[in-house]
A and B are shown apart, each in its own frame.
Chain A
Amino acid sequence: MIALLVRDMRLAVRAGGGFGLGLAFFLIVCILVPFSVGPQSQLLASIAPGVLWLGALLACLLSLDRVFALDFEDGSLDLLASAPLPMEGVVSMKALTHWLTTGLPLVVAAPALGILLSLPTQGFMWLFLSLLLGTPALSVIGTFGAALTVGLKRGGLLLSILVLPLYVPTLIFGAELARRGAAGMDTQTPLLMLAGITFATIALLPIASSAVIRINLR
């Protein structure tokens, strides 16, 4: 399974792997926001946590269709299914690769973009923490959506329709955690809920994803 992770990371960073595209998208969205709502720092500061969370979520979503599509097209997925790896492990590794190539760069870049959006000082730590805790859930849930649409020719739009409702709880608790942190309010409940959602999805959702992949391969 480590071999699969190494291979996928290698593919992601080599030419054509699409590494960094999600990050660039995130950057552009966050820069466009002041153009659309106006440059007042007061307003930007109050919407910054939500905008950064939404931007991160959309950036994750955009790269999801690549999670299984390439392996499906070149036959690797068939071969992996008949290899001595548990399918649950394969989908978990795929989600981890997605997080390392898309989620983690977003987490690291978000504080820098927080400056552009006038995020209050005490909010940076909470923004970073909320994204660090929440983006793995986005990758795991997204992998489930990608597994559902793997065999479809034009699955991209369907993938968004399937995955976005599933993102609602993560978005609510994640953005709430960042917002409350920035406003200096109590953060315990959203912190625990976000952590709970993330760990529960990491533990349970790969079972559903692997079942779905096996159904789609047959």
Chain B
Amino acid sequence: MSTRRSLWEYANPRKFMGLSGAILPWVAVSGGVLLVIGLIWGFFFTPADYRQGATVKIIYLHVPSALMAINAWFMMLVASLIWLIRRHHVSALAAKAAAPVGVAMTIIALVTGAIWGQPMWGTWWVWDPRLTSFLILFLFYLGYIALWSAIENDDTAADLASILCIVGSVFAMLSRYAVNFWNQGLHQGASLSLDKEENVADIFYHPLLVSMVAFGLIFLALVLLRTRTEIRARQLRAYLARERMQ
């Protein structure tokens, strides 16, 4: 037995099941608690914006979900690369598991954005670059999920979906650039960045940070849970295949 421990050990399905089973409740509970704290703090203990009024408070849902919508795709990209290079089954299944969560995050971001935009811009939807990019991201998620569900053989589906994810990432970046060029847009600048002067004030920033961490933890919990389900489903199929052999 090797004494040098490596992160790749957790790519072994059995090790992954053990570790994820142990941390899942903690991640889920702390994510839930932080979300409640962040939202209550943001909704009831911050002042209304002098221009945007109470509408601004939807930021505590909008920004974290938008962030996770993009991070979910990024996680899928990394997991796809790991699958293609190192052939760890857990990695492919984690990418598969993250996609529907990413879709949910994208829908939350789009819907909260529309609700925010209606009083601010006087319309539910404008073809603004940011909004459009999220709509396109949504389409990429749909294609990825559709491909996974269309192919019966697990390894073939994992290979094809991974390649689609990589190619799709390049085209998603291109689309982002293209829509920026295509329409300059109404959307306000990024709410958070490290080097800009017009960041949101600290008083909004702290509860926002809490709810962003909460969304991150909830995302992690959902992905872990779904990956565990995928692993069990796959093991079940392997057992059934074994039963069919004499």
- A137-167: CB near B (< 8 Å → 1, else 0) gives 0000000100011001001001001101110
Find out whether the CB atom of A161 lies under 8 angstroms from the CB atom of B163.
no
Q: Which stretch of B23-31, B85-93, B177-185, B221-229 is in the interface?
A: B177-185
A215 to B178, CA, bound (A): 32
Q: Which stretch of B48-56, B106-114, B134-142, B188-196 is in the interface?
A: B134-142
| A216 contacts chain B at the CB level, 8 A cutoff | yes
Find out whether the CB atom of B167 lies under 8 angstroms from the CB atom of A161.
no
Q: Which chain A positions have C-beta within 8 A of B119? A: none
Closest partner residue, chain B, to A189 (CB atom): B181
A173 to B182, CA, bound (A): 8
- Cross-chain contact of A172 among B159, B168, B182 (Cβ < 8 A): B182
A182-218 contacts to B (CB < 8 Å): 189-190, 193, 197, 205, 208, 211-212, 215-216, 218
Closest partner residue, chain A, to B150 (CB atom): A158
Find out whether the CB atom of B146 lies under 8 angstroms from the CB atom of A158.
yes
A211 to B159, CA, bound (A): 9
Interface size class of A (residues with CB under 8 A): 20 to 34
A189 to B164, CA, bound (A): 28
Find out whether the CB atom of A165 lies under 8 angstroms from the CB atom of B140.
yes
Closest partner residue, chain A, to B172 (CB atom): A165
Find out whether the CB atom of B174 lies under 8 angstroms from the CB atom of A169.
yes
| B12 contacts chain A at the CB level, 8 A cutoff | no
| B147 contacts chain A at the CB level, 8 A cutoff | yes
Q: Which chain B positions have C-beta within 8 A of A144? A: 167
Find out whether the CB atom of B163 lies under 8 angstroms from the CB atom of A211.
yes
Find out whether the CB atom of A168 lies under 8 angstroms from the CB atom of B163.
no
- Cross-chain contact of A152 among B142, B150, B175, B179 (Cβ < 8 A): B150
Find out whether the CB atom of A215 lies under 8 angstroms from the CB atom of B146.
no
A161 to B145, CA, bound (A): 10
CB proximity of B211 to chain A, nearest CB, Å: 30
Q: Which chain B positions have C-beta within 8 A of A161? A: 142-143, 146
Q: Which chain B positions have C-beta within 8 A of A193? A: 178, 181
A149 to B148, CA, bound (A): 11
| B19 contacts chain A at the CB level, 8 A cutoff | no
A152 to B157, CA, bound (A): 12
Q: Which chain B positions have C-beta within 8 A of A211? A: 163
Find out whether the CB atom of B178 lies under 8 angstroms from the CB atom of A148.
no
| A8 contacts chain B at the CB level, 8 A cutoff | no
- Cross-chain contact of B159 among A155, A169, A215 (Cβ < 8 A): A215
A168 to B178, CA, bound (A): 8
Find out whether the CB atom of B139 lies under 8 angstroms from the CB atom of A216.
no
A216 to B152, CA, bound (A): 12
Find out whether the CB atom of A173 lies under 8 angstroms from the CB atom of B160.
no
| A176 contacts chain B at the CB level, 8 A cutoff | yes
Find out whether the CB atom of B167 lies under 8 angstroms from the CB atom of A216.
no
Find out whether the CB atom of B143 lies under 8 angstroms from the CB atom of A168.
no
| B156 contacts chain A at the CB level, 8 A cutoff | yes
| B45 contacts chain A at the CB level, 8 A cutoff | no
A125 to B229, CA, bound (A): 56
Find out whether the CB atom of B181 lies under 8 angstroms from the CB atom of A162.
no
Q: Which chain B positions have C-beta within 8 A of A168? A: 136, 139, 171, 174-175, 178
Find out whether the CB atom of B178 lies under 8 angstroms from the CB atom of A216.
no
Find out whether the CB atom of A162 lies under 8 angstroms from the CB atom of B147.
yes
Q: Which chain B positions have C-beta within 8 A of A162? A: 143, 146-147, 164
10 tightest CB-CB pairs across the interface, nearest first?
A169-B174, A165-B139, A172-B178, A169-B178, A168-B175, A162-B143, A215-B159, A166-B171, A165-B140, A161-B146
9 CB < 8 A contacts A-B: A149-B150, A161-B146, A162-B147, A165-B143, A168-B136, A169-B171, A172-B179, A215-B159, A216-B160
